[in-house]
Amino acid sequence: MPHLRSKPTPESSTYSTMPAANSTTAVTAWEIPTHGRPGFKGDGREIPAAATAVRVATPPPSTPSRSSRATTSRASSTLYFPPPDPEISYFARRFAYAYITPDNAPARANDPRAFVRAVFRTLAPNLPQDFELETPSYHGDVIVCFRTPDDREAAIRRQPFELAEGVTLRLVREGETPNVTVTPMDCLAHVALRRYPVEQRTDEEIRANCYHLGHLLELDPSCFAAPDLATVFVVLQLEQPRQIPRELRITYGDGSTSVVPVEILRVWDRSESLDGNGEYACLFQQSPAAAA
């Protein structure tokens, strides 16, 4: 299941994917990074401050050099969101971006939506014609919203749509446009969140705070009964461990901040945690209620 890895921009987007259970990709020998980790990550939260929150002076970000600007910008915007709700996923699987080539084709400048309609009526009359067409904001010439995901897949299988004088219409799925980079999520990390405030110790809040660290694969359930500022242990799934910051800063609406030191205890390849059925084998002992 794909996971959105960074905030989409008009120029580029990055998605991370988990390998299939039967993946035969090479196993990477991950190591705990000794340098190169960000100093801290975090953002403001409009929630009541923790009792132990403090005021932290945050230095202004330095201006990166021209050669490092792209890398710095990409790292600073990385967020690991959970998989979308089934309803949203279904909605996304109905969309495709229509690209008309060549760039100087008259249909691109005249009325691309009418052109798409004409192509389907002429070259694919047996396919459903009750799709909706929208003007794209960034990518493609037309956004095609099919009635169902099956309708979209039937149209994509029908490709290529080739017309006279070398004009073509190509459909591209949501998430497969040229601005998208697919990266593996093969690294797992056992991480300790030190001095974690009790006010933030709910499943929802821990997951929200871990968006800055990696995809939260597992949470040690014993943390919920632990005292204030006790360590919270988690297992993260991410692209590579150097992305994990040394501190997580939870900044509240009043400007105060909880500073949570982040310690990487162990890193390993995801394939090492799969059972005989290709399913993830939990690191932490689950409570009877959670197991049920």
Burial 238-267 (b: 16+ CB within 10 A, else e): bbbbbbbbebbbbbbeeeebbbbebebeeb
Position 26 scores a pLDDT of: 59
19 pLDDT more than 50: no
Position 16 scores a pLDDT of: 40
pLDDT in tens, 128-137: 999 999 998 7
79 pLDDT more than 80: no
pLDDT in tens, 34-62: 888 988 888 777 778 888 878 776 655 55
What is the rounded distance in angstroms from the CA atom of residue 91 to the CA atom of residue 103? 29
Q: pTM value?
A: 0.65
pLDDT bucket at 181, cuts 50 / 70 / 90: confident
Q: What is the mean pLDDT of residues 77-95?
A: 81
> From residue 165, how far is each of 72, 104, 106, 168 by CA, in Å?
45, 12, 11, 9
Which is more confident, 22 or 168? Answer: 168
Burial class, 112, CB count within 10 angstroms (exposed 0-12 / middle 13-18 / buried 19+): buried
For 49, the token pair is: 């401050």
204 pLDDT more than 50: yes
CB atoms within 10 A of CB 2: 16
Minimum mean pLDDT range among 37-41, 96-100, 178-182, 187-191: 178-182
Position 49 scores a pLDDT of: 82
